[in-house]
Amino acid sequence: MFHFRKSNLMIIELDFRQESMFCQEKTTAVPLVFQRGYNRYVILLINLEALVDLSKHAFFEGKIVPWSEAKINIATHGFLYGTTVFSGMRAYWSEEKKRLFIFRPYEHFRRLLDSAKILSMSIPYDEQGLIQLTLDVLRTDNWQQDVYLRPTIYKADMGIGVRLHNLRDDFSMFVTAFDKYLSNDTNAHLTISSWRRIDDNAIPARGKISGAYANSALVKTDANRAGFDEAIVLDQDGQVSEGSAMNIFMVRNGILVTPPATDNILEGITRRTVMELAREELGLQVVERSIDRTEILIAEELFLTGTAAQIVAATKVDYRPIGSGEMGPVTTKLRALFDDVVHARVPKYHNWNVEV
Ligand SMILES: Cc1ncc(COP(=O)(O)O)c(C=O)c1O
């Protein structure tokens, strides 16, 4: 049984035999001094990574419901087989305008519907319908802070049988308070992962498919356990693809370079945004081409992009400093510009900010 207080503090009551369930690396569990009932603890759980507030609302099975009621059955196909596609979007609170703005929701929903198409899914909403629904969910809780949104399309039927056809599809979405994804986003130390990126002919990275994130989880956990902030993943051909949940850019000879959409990457919305801002506002030449592993090591600058991660400066790879070993000028400028754009401070890009 869960009781929630603030967004990142919660009081939970649980059977002590289940305590290990909650011992994630970024979770601090503080047992309170009193004990209640037989075999039960009341503990204060401070989860630094995933902020879950069940008093808020979610969209589930066609309507807005309290998050605590948005539950799927353990036999749901999407849960059993990873036959779920999703997106991660953000809405940013503008202190100046006292309004919340969703960042590029049309593009996120376009990609979500494309991912759904790959898994032979269909739902009765188009991009505009999904934006309207997102506005309704956000307005229900009157969010006045930066939030992260997780829309999901999943195979909703229950039962055994691996396939994509003859199964019902459904849509869900929750919203959560969210700050940084990588705590160190100004001088991250990366490693080259020993895991390879899933191939387009295995599980397409282009589709944001839940099951494929076992690949990202292997990459991330091994990198963190070895003391790195993140990892760079190579594809089956040994070319740089991306990070565990973010795209990658390097500055080499003054040119901004990122792997093309055909090198087993997720076609990131932040990637697209950064390419446009770099060309338009910094006057940089931006090139999409395959990147060799060793090019990364001799690049002038290196950074990762993603909705959750935003723009993360990577200043070391496998103990080798990148460029000067400190965040470079291109990364610094793009981070500042991106922050202004997502917070609706740049009129030229207001069409990317959808007011709630
Ligand atoms: C594997 C992967 N690559 C890249 C990205 C960045 O994509 P976006 O900028 O659309 O969030 C993500 C984040 O969702 C991701 O999971």
| Contact call for residues 174 and 58 (beta carbons, < 8 A) | yes
Tell which atom from ligand 1 comes closest to the C-alpha of 247: 4
Q: Which DSSP state fits 322?
A: P
Nearest CA to ligand 1 atom 16: 245
Average pLDDT of the segment spanning 119-125: 97
| Contact call for residues 295 and 241 (beta carbons, < 8 A) | no
Q: What is the mean pLDDT of the chain?
A: 89
Ligand 1 pocket: which of 110, 115, 215, 270 to mutate (most atoms within 8 A of CB):
270
Say yes or no to pLDDT of 80 above 90: yes
**Confidence at residue 179, expressed as pLDDT on a 0 to 100 scale:** 82
**Confidence at residue 53, expressed as pLDDT on a 0 to 100 scale:** 78
Say yes or no to pLDDT of 11 above 70: no
Pairing of strands 230-234, 147-155: unpaired
Q: Nearest 5°: phi and psi at 224?
A: -65, -45
Nearest residue to 290 via CA among 327, 316, 264: 264
**Confidence at residue 41, expressed as pLDDT on a 0 to 100 scale:** 47
**Confidence at residue 54, expressed as pLDDT on a 0 to 100 scale:** 78
Q: How many CA atoms lie within 13 A of 128 on its CB side?
A: 0
Average pLDDT of the segment spanning 165-191: 94
Say yes or no to pLDDT of 43 above 60: no
- Categorize the per-residue pLDDT at 55 as very low, low, confident or very high, splitting at 50, 70 and 90: confident
pLDDT cut 70: percent of the chain above it: 85
Question: Structural domain boundaries of the chain?
Answer: 2-47, 57-177, 188-342
**Confidence at residue 49, expressed as pLDDT on a 0 to 100 scale:** 45
Q: Which CATH number fits domain 57-177: 3.30.470.10, 3.40.50.970, 3.40.50.300, 3.90.1150.10?
A: 3.30.470.10
Is the C-beta atom of 259 inside 6 A of ligand 1?
A: no
pLDDT digits (tens, 9 = 90+) for 179-192: 889 989 999 999 99
- Categorize the per-residue pLDDT at 51 as very low, low, confident or very high, splitting at 50, 70 and 90: low
- Categorize the per-residue pLDDT at 28 as very low, low, confident or very high, splitting at 50, 70 and 90: very low
**Confidence at residue 42, expressed as pLDDT on a 0 to 100 scale:** 45
**Confidence at residue 151, expressed as pLDDT on a 0 to 100 scale:** 98
Is the C-beta atom of 242 inside 6 A of ligand 1?
A: yes
Does domain 188-342 fall into CATH 3.20.10.10? Answer: yes
pLDDT cut 90: percent of the chain above it: 83
This prediction has a pTM of 0.87
Say yes or no to pLDDT of 251 above 90: yes
Average pLDDT of the segment spanning 285-302: 98
| Contact call for residues 112 and 106 (beta carbons, < 8 A) | no
Ligand 1 pocket: which of 247, 265, 303, 334 to mutate (most atoms within 8 A of CB):
247
**Confidence at residue 14, expressed as pLDDT on a 0 to 100 scale:** 44
pLDDT digits (tens, 9 = 90+) for 192-221: 999 999 999 999 999 999 999 999 999 999
Active-site entry in 71, 97, 117, 208: 208
Residue type, 198: I
269-280 and 329-342 are packed helices; what angle lies between their axes, rounded to 10 degrees?
Answer: 110
